[in-house]
Amino acid sequence: MKFYGYNKCGTCRKAKSDLDGKKIAYEEFDITETPPSKAVLKQAMKAKGMRKLFNTSGVQYKELKMKDKIASMTEAEAVDLLASNGRLLKRPIAVDKDRITVGFDAEEYAAVWGKGK
């Protein structure tokens, strides 16, 4: 599993704790330095929709006035932008083959990644 998160993010820490509790091994990436690949972003977009991938409470989102721009963006433009700026991404993103989660919700983690041991 690949886990794209940010160490200063409380939601990311909760997600990692959940995965650790389930004894699920993951390779961790700093989403701000190493955003997910375009292929992963396309997979996430297919699963969650374009808007759900944006960190709407983030500083960059507000500074770039993304709220006004998203409606007119194509999926390809969104993928290009998100792949080049991890600070715009909702985090964490956990991906393993055909399974993916964006953000952290304990019930979704249990459904997608299992209940643990």
Q: Under a CB-based contact definition with an 8 Å cutoff, are residues 70 and 50 in contact? A: yes
Query: Which CATH code for domain 2-113?
Result: 3.40.30.10
Tokens 């919700």 belong to which residue?
Answer: 105
User: Model's pTM, two decimal places?
Assistant: 0.93
User: What are the residues whose beta carbons fall under 8 Å from the beta carbon of 41, sequence distance 6 or more?
Assistant: 35, 53, 79, 82, 83
Hey, where are the domains in the chain?
Answer: 2-113
Per-residue pLDDT of the chain (117 residues; tens, 9 = 90+): 999 999 999 999 999 999 999 999 999 999 999 999 999 999 999 999 999 999 999 999 999 999 999 989 999 999 999 999 999 999 999 999 999 999 999 999 999 999 764
HSE-CB for 18 with a 13 A CA cutoff: 23
